[in-house]
């Protein structure tokens, strides 16, 4: 037995109580403003379809058209890998998973578009389109053909189109309620936000709808599209996007970068409007910092270069889209927007390659951390959080299988979730 050290203190217990009381409001504010990631699945992309083009077969049609492009321009793992520069060991697992995804779940998130993709229409025509969209979305969820997430993008809260946006939202949501209720995967998108007050007004609209139908408070959330310079830097020099998250009063679910509107707002020439432009990088970095810890997810934008035409053009467009998606993933933008069925093969190829190429190392590191076994990297609780999140995202999108993750980590999904979303002040806890 070693000698026991004498322990002495100088502060009275009342000092600790004073500090507790002093910081209690801060503790409450931290919990309210920064609840952490919600722990739900984040789709890897959002597809948007003009309201007049949306049909009951849209999701399946996108998958079939994407498969047809693969059959025509990359009919086997080797040819697809050659186009994208995939290493030999990833060619077959990525290609087979892409084809399976396109057959099983071609679209993860779909937005019926009543904004730029739809444009101004006669009032009666847009009313009818909104009611039709509600009926089709409700039917899709009932018969099992829906994407995991579906919803609409309405016109913005600017004066010229505000009333129309409000009415379309009302018609669509009312139609869903009357068709049996709001689906669990419902997502709403508010575009072209410039001032936080527009966000708070939209939140009030949703609150009023909940009250009108006896829904639980906060049932309806929405994404905020960042498409104006004023949404990043306000007139007073502050980051307006951070205030927008707070203005949503807990209803904000995502910040989506609008590649072309934002670039045009800054005067970027059309030929250079892309998600890897320095202006885009700056905007998304501000969005990312503003959203960190709030539970609001960040999504990248899209490319308008479509994989259509002869094989050479399709392959060039695929390489561009694949490279942009891989670049976004490395920067922790785990979602983006796709504009054409030809984009989704390379969306999934990039996502699957990203998770599969780092899977074994991530699994080994998390297994060592969970077992308190040393290795060549000294990981900390925050890294374990990142590793757990990485593996969960790979599982959710289909890049990884439950059995292989369990085999290499010795962990269950519940274990991964505990690492990925530790309680505040409990980052050192291990679920094992």
Question: Are the C-beta atoms of residues 391 and 416 closer than 8 Å to each other?
Answer: yes
Residue 162 belongs to domain with CATH number: 3.20.20.60
Cα distance from N-terminal residue to C-terminal residue, the chain: 30
- In the chain, % helix, strand, coil (3-state, to 5) comes to 55, 10, 35
The domain boundary, picked from 354, 380, 412, lies at 354
Are both 277 and 175 inside the same structural domain?
yes
Determine the pLDDT at residue 428.
40
Q: CA angle, 153 as apex, 147 and 158 as ends, to 5°? A: 170
Residue 264 neighbours by CB under 8 Å, 6+ apart: 270, 273
Residue 8 falls inside a structural domain: no
Would you tell me how many other CB atoms lie within 10 Å of the CB of residue 16?
10
Residue 9 falls inside a structural domain: no
DSSP label of 67: H
Question: Are the C-beta atoms of residues 107 and 62 closer than 8 Å to each other?
Answer: yes
- Phi and psi at residue 272, to the nearest 5°: -110, 10
Six-digit token string for 203: 């939140």
Six-digit token string for 420: 């990925």
The domain boundary, picked from 317, 334, 354, lies at 354
Give pLDDT tens digits for 225-246: 999 999 999 999 999 999 999 9
Residue 326 falls inside a structural domain: yes
Question: Are the C-beta atoms of residues 333 and 297 closer than 8 Å to each other?
Answer: no
Q: Is 355 exposed, middle or buried (0-12, 13-18, 19+ CB in 10 A)?
A: buried
Question: Are the C-beta atoms of residues 240 and 195 closer than 8 Å to each other?
Answer: yes
- Phi and psi at residue 298, to the nearest 5°: -105, 135
For residue 58, the SS3 value is helix
- On the question of pLDDT at 430 being above 70, the answer is no
Residue-range definition of the domain harbouring residue 369:
358-420
Residue 280 falls inside a structural domain: yes
Question: Are the C-beta atoms of residues 300 and 275 closer than 8 Å to each other?
Answer: yes
Specify the residue for token string 């969306």.
347
Six-digit token string for 23: 């910081």
Specify the residue for token string 């309210």.
32
H or E segment and range at residue 29:
helix 13-33
Question: Are the C-beta atoms of residues 233 and 240 closer than 8 Å to each other?
Answer: yes
Are both 365 and 296 inside the same structural domain?
no
DSSP label of 185: T
- On the question of pLDDT at 281 being above 50, the answer is yes
Are both 257 and 378 inside the same structural domain?
no
- Phi and psi at residue 182, to the nearest 5°: -75, 130
Query: How sure is the predictor about 382, in pLDDT bands with cuts at 50, 70 and 90?
Result: confident
Give pLDDT tens digits for 100-159: 999 999 999 999 999 999 999 999 999 999 999 999 999 999 999 999 999 999 999 999
Are both 261 and 378 inside the same structural domain?
no
Backbone dihedral region of 214: left (phi > 0), alpha (psi from -120 to 50 degrees) or beta? left
Q: What's the total number of domains in the chain?
A: 2
Beta bridge partners of 254: 223, 297
Q: Is 278 exposed, middle or buried (0-12, 13-18, 19+ CB in 10 A)?
A: exposed
Reference 322, options 354, 298, 347; nearest CA is 347
Give pLDDT tens digits for 173-205: 999 999 999 999 999 999 999 999 999 999 999
Give pLDDT tens digits for 401-418: 999 999 999 999 999 999
Determine the pLDDT at residue 425.
52
Residue 178 falls inside a structural domain: yes
Determine the pLDDT at residue 377.
53
Query: How sure is the predictor about 426, in pLDDT bands with cuts at 50, 70 and 90?
Result: low
Q: Using N-to-C axis directions, what is the helix angle for 381-397 and 413-420, rounded to 10°?
A: 130
Q: How far is C-alpha 80 from the geometric centre of its chain's CA atoms?
A: 26
Are both 300 and 341 inside the same structural domain?
yes
Determine the pLDDT at residue 49.
97
Are both 139 and 228 inside the same structural domain?
yes
Are both 209 and 306 inside the same structural domain?
yes
Residue 21 falls inside a structural domain: no
Question: d(Cα 98, Cα 67) in Å, to the nearest integer?
Answer: 9
Determine the pLDDT at residue 431.
37
Question: d(Cα 364, Cα 410) in Å, to the nearest integer?
Answer: 10
Are both 114 and 223 inside the same structural domain?
yes
Residue 184 falls inside a structural domain: yes
Six-digit token string for 299: 């999504």
As a whole number of Å, the CA-based R_g of the chain is 24
Give pLDDT tens digits for 206-223: 999 999 999 999 999 999
Specify the residue for token string 């997502």.
187
Are both 259 and 315 inside the same structural domain?
yes
Sheet holding 149-153, edge to edge: 297-299, 252-257, 222-226, 186-190, 149-153, 109-113, 45-50, 336-338
Residue 40 falls inside a structural domain: no
Are both 375 and 406 inside the same structural domain?
yes
DSSP label of 13: H
Give pLDDT tens digits for 330-341: 999 999 999 999
The domain boundary, picked from 354, 370, 399, lies at 354
Are both 286 and 391 inside the same structural domain?
no
- pTM to 2 decimal places: 0.92
Q: In degrees to the nearest 10, what's the CA dihedral of 315, 318, 324, 326?
A: -100
Determine the pLDDT at residue 2.
63
Determine the pLDDT at residue 40.
93
Are both 301 and 387 inside the same structural domain?
no
């Amino acid at each position: 037995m070693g000698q026991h050290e004498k322990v002495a203190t100088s502060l009275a217990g009342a000092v600790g109580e004073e500090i507790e009381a002093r910081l209690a409001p801060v503790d409450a504010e931290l919990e309210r403003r920064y609840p952490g990631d919600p722990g739900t699945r984040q789709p890897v992309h959002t597809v948007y379809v003009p309201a007049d083009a949306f049909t009951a077969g849209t999701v399946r049609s996108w998958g079939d058209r994407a498969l047809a492009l693969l059959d025509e321009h990359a009919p086997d793992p080797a040819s697809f890998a050659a186009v994208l520069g995939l290493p030999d060991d990833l060619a077959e697992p990525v290609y087979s998973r892409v084809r399976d995804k396109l057959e099983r779940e071609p679209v993860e998130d779909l937005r019926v578009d009543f904004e730029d993709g739809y444009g101004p229409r006669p009032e009666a025509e847009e009313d009818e389109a909104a009611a039709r969209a509600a009926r089709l979305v409700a039917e899709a969820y009932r018969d099992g053909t829906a994407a995991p997430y579906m919803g609409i993008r309405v016109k913005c809260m600017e004066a010229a189109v505000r009333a129309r946006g409000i009415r379309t939202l009302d018609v669509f949501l009312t139609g869903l309620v009357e068709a049996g209720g709001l689906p669990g995967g419902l997502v709403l998108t508010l575009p072209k936000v410039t001032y936080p007050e527009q966000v708070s007004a939209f939140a009030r609209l949703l609150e009023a709808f909940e009250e009108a139908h006896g829904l639980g408070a906060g049932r309806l959330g929405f994404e905020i599209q960042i498409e104006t310079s004023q949404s990043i830097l306000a007139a007073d020099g502050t980051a307006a996007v951070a205030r927008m998250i707070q203005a949503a009063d807990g209803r904000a679910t995502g910040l989506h970068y609008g590649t072309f509107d934002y670039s045009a707002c800054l005067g970027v020439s059309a030929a250079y409007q892309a998600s890897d432009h320095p202006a885009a990088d700056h905007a998304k970095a501000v969005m990312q910092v503003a959203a960190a810890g709030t539970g609001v997810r960040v999504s990248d934008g899209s490319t308008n270069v479509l994989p259509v035409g002869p094989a050479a053009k399709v392959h060039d467009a695929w390489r561009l889209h694949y490279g942009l998606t891989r670049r976004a993933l490395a920067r922790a933008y785990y979602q983006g927007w796709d504009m054409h069925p030809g984009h989704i093969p390379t969306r999934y190829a990039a996502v699957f390659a990203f998770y599969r190429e780092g899977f074994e190392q991530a699994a080994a590191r998390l297994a060592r951390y969970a077992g308190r076994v040393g290795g060549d990297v000294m990981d900390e609780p925050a890294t374990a959080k990142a590793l757990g999140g990485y593996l969960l995202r790979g599982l959710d999108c289909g890049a990884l299988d439950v059995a292989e993750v369990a085999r290499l980590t010795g962990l269950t999904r519940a274990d991964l979730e505990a690492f990925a979303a530790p309680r505040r002040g409990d980052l050192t806890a291990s679920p094992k």
